[in-house]
Amino acid sequence: MRAARLIKMVLLLQSRPAMTAAELARELEVSERTVTRDAQALSEAGVPVYADRGRAGGYRLVGGYRTRLTGLARSEAEALFLSGVPGALREMGLQDAASAARLKVSAALLPALRDAPDTAAQRFHLDAPAWFREPETPAWLPVIAEAVWEDRRIDGGYRRGDGTVERRLEPYGLVLKAGVWYLCARVAGAGAFRTYRIDRFAAVAALDERFDRDPGFDLPGFWAEQAERFARSILRAEVVVRLSPDGVRRLPHAVDPLGAREALAGAGAPDAEGWVTVTLPVESEEVAHSQLTALGPDAEVLAPASLRERCAADAARLAALYRRDDG
């Protein structure tokens, strides 16, 4: 533990001109007294750590000293590619690995480039969770993430309906979608890949046994296919809608994007007033009623008759409201 801290201290001093004891204590999560002892230990080991006394003093490396302890470990290199998503790293338990990787990269940079990490951090930040929801870290995410990195099988109890099913899984990859974590895994011995919501696992145990990854598995491709299949699976009904030019423009923002694309792709030619008629895939008549109401007078429902009647009743009630004289 102390050896790792001493290495981190050298890397910190190598990446900056000088640091105060308070700054080092904060970065290393120790007391200033421990920083003093560590600096003395480094000096005795031959690392030229120099202490400047006084209020503006601090610690620095003498004579452009460069350590060769900058080689990245596998976990650090993998975490570095995720360093733009600090929340995800923290939830997967990789924050320390990413911090060490960034320090090693910073230490290897030329002095003129050492502000690159801070410059990038001020120009790019990813906030993955959706609006108006408090993100929660699934309890079993760190365990599953470690199994993913190490290609270890897991035993998990997965909540489905009113019960829990037991599965032995080969965890291939993790996906963070709108603040929700998903596991892409293969049931051991079954061969088929499936998707599981991490927050639905009631229990997870990582096993010692490893599995051989299928070299043909492509996580981004698999997720894109699953996402489109899911979107299509919920669009079980159809409605016929007449849209104004503005309604055509606003449709993808009011309904499911996949349904909007299919509807507009199959639209006929505009009529004399510039309106087009489309057949729109929807989840249900109830959902379609809620979504199409947002288009107001730029959408006219033609079928089914029951939905047209509901929209007509809404329009009549709205017109009555605006005709009302409150005196």
Task: Kindly tell me the sign of the dihedral angle through the C-alpha atoms of 228, 254, 312, 265.
Answer: negative
CB proximity list for 25: less than 8 A, separation 6 or greater: 31, 32, 34, 35
- Distance CA(76)–CA(74), nearest Å, equals 5
- Angle (CA) 243-248-252 rounded to 5° is 125
Q: How far is CA 326 from CA 77, 317, 320, in A?
A: 69, 16, 12
Q: Which of 53-62, 150-159, 196-205, 299-308 has the lowest mean pLDDT?
A: 53-62
3 phi-psi bin (left φ>0, alpha ψ -120 to 50, beta other): alpha
The answer to whether residue 136 scores a pLDDT higher than 60 is: yes
SS3 content of the chain, % helix, strand, coil (to 5): 45, 25, 30
pTM: predicted TM-score of the whole model, two decimal places: 0.53
For 141-160, what is the mean pLDDT?
92
Residue 271: φ, ψ to 5°: -85, -170
What confidence tens digit (pLDDT) does each residue in 47-104 have? Answer: 888 888 766 668 888 876 766 555 555 555 455 555 555 566 666 666 676 666 666 6
Q: Which helix (H) or strand (E) holds 288?
A: helix 285-293
pLDDT of 132 reads 62
pLDDT of 158 reads 94
Two tokens at 138?
């699934």
* Residue 50 bridge partners (DSSP): 60
- Angle (CA) 145-141-164 rounded to 5° is 115
